[in-house]
Copies of this chain bind each other. A is one copy, B any other.
Amino acid sequence: MDKRDQIIDAAIGLFAEQGFDKTSISAICEKVGVSKGLVFHHFKNKDDLLREVFIKITDIVRNSGERSPAITDPKARLVAYIESIFTAMSVPDYKVLYQLNFNVMVQPATRTLLLDLIEERVLLMRQATEEVFNYMGYKNSAIVSQMFVAEIDGIALNYLFSVEEFPLDEIKTEFIKKYT
């Protein structure tokens, strides 16, 4: 794999684990085994690297979402949708992405930096959700899906950052019940 890609991947991991600010370029270099110079050869600065990281994550999320099979029953489709989300949340590889996501959205500095990319991603998720709710015949699907997305965010947040064990499965069951 390309050194440039290796750097991005290492950055994804470290940014997620330690946060953007607490991750030094040196740490990334050590992980990949390249010089600091190379990072600045490929990326204008640290902020630029973060943007590229964010773009790559969005791509991963986008591509992973496309394998939903064609389910015709509206209710079954919603259930499948919710389940795919909860599954993604608990896959180790994806956990990291979620963590990074929150990290970056909540931090004022990084948030500003990525505002356009965040907006793009939010839209992406809202559209996918709205479609499902439309298919179920909701009249106020716009509001409902905005709430739905928010709630999923909250559950992910509590799951990923909970102090004690988080009963994801029970929550999922309850969540599905509420929406069907």
Which residues from B are CB-within-8-Å of A159? 150
Whether the Cβ atoms of B154 and A167 lie closer than 8 Å is: no
Q: A163-B122, A170-B143 are in contact. Are A102 and B108 (CB under 8 A)?
A: no
A144 touches B17 (CB 8 A): no
Q: How far does the alpha carbon of A176 sit from the alpha carbon of B100 in the complex, in Å?
A: 31
Does the CB pair A108–B154 fall under 8 Å?
Answer: no
* Chain A interface mostly: helix
Name the B residues within 8 Å of A44 (CB-CB).
none
Question: From residue A97, how far is it (CB to closest CB) to chain B in Å?
Answer: 14
List, in ascending order, chain B residues with CB within 8 A of A45's CB: none
Q: Judging by beta carbons under 8 Å apart, are A163 and B21 in contact?
A: no
CB neighbours of A149 from chain B (8 A): 158
Contacting pair B18 A143 (CB below 8 A):
no
20 interchain pairs, CB-CB under 8 A: A17-B108, A18-B108, A99-B106, A103-B106, A103-B107, A105-B157, A105-B161, A115-B163, A143-B171, A143-B174, A146-B158, A146-B166, A147-B175, A149-B158, A150-B151, A150-B155, A150-B158, A151-B151, A151-B155, A178-B178
